Structure 1
Amino acid sequence: MNLIARHIPRLETERLILRAPSEADLDADTAFFASEAAKFVGGPLRRDEVWRVLASLLGHWSVRGYGYWSVDEKDTGAYVGRIGLWFPEGWPEPEVGWTLMTHATGKGYATEAALAARTHAYDVLGWETAISLIDPDNTASKAVAKRMGARFEYTYEHPKYGTSEIWRHPAPADLVNGGMEAYA
């Protein structure tokens, strides 16, 4: 485990473990970023570019004190994606984001892990609001945002990634039971 990873909190949900990103995720991430599904998150990417993304994820933790977690199934240990908190330079606002491996979609994992990440942002980091940037054609991510209680707010032109929709998450005071009722 590297120096930064030692300081990344481990979160657990009913079915998932959110842990520090690691180089062990590189093969699965490389396969994902070579697939059609990666078009919604900046892909396709070559392996060396995916490695740089991993370095960026860890660097974000170092600079901001929060970031993306790698997500594993509790029962099997299988890597299912990355979910977390993101606010790099040039981003409009702090974001709750998710990227699932293709084999892990349709199981509620994105919602479950993103709710845990948002709860961490609100309860531990003191965030008062959060957004999710979603590609207008990414209906699956819009469905996750809706399940989390987020609402479409406006269209945003990102200088690198193009048109995105900004989905606003409910404020902490507007949530019951940390927002978990949306998942129930």
Structure 2
Amino acid sequence: MVKQATLQSDKAPALVDFKDVLENCDVHIASAWRGQLADTLETSKVGVPICVCLNLEDLKCFESVETQYERWGVVFRNSIAIQPSNPAFPSHSGLIVLMGSPKGGFLEASFVHPVNYVSAYVTSSQRLVMSAYDSDRQLLSQTVLPGANLANSDSAVPPNILLSVTASNIHSVTFCAFDGQFTIDDFRFCI
């Protein structure tokens, strides 16, 4: 099911105009739709953000995740799909989440076309830094989860906290939990 919105304004919408769709991740990518992002980019109106929320449920447990979503505009590095068996790492929606592997505590997403907004629901065993970079690997923006937010722990921060970065021309983002493990769910980005 895809929600559609009609805008009644001559002004080009901003990301805040799509806040409800972004936060609730109501738009999921179905396997049959893959490959349509390039067409959508070519025919979209200038100034109207195109947002993608990845449906991780198409992935198999323990599948290495790299180019499966390239047609939708993102390539992952050091990423594996898992169905968490540890209740400290619950999923936000569905059963499958992404985790950094084989190198624990690190995951990178690179975008085919520059984006302006990236977010994910994160559960981590340690402090986690989400960083956005331009095409020259210069830091554009950063957000920090200050400490662990595992389920059933004494953390003041609940599991599956939404982290996001906003900047012009984001070419890649990294998630890094030094000496820790983390999961991400409902990964989304806007072009």
Structure showing the higher strand proportion among its residues: 2
Task: Report the TM-score when normalising by structure 1.
Answer: 0.31
Structure with bigger helix share is 1
The higher relative CO (CA closer than 8 Å, separation ≥ 6) is in 2
TM-score scaled by structure 2? 0.31
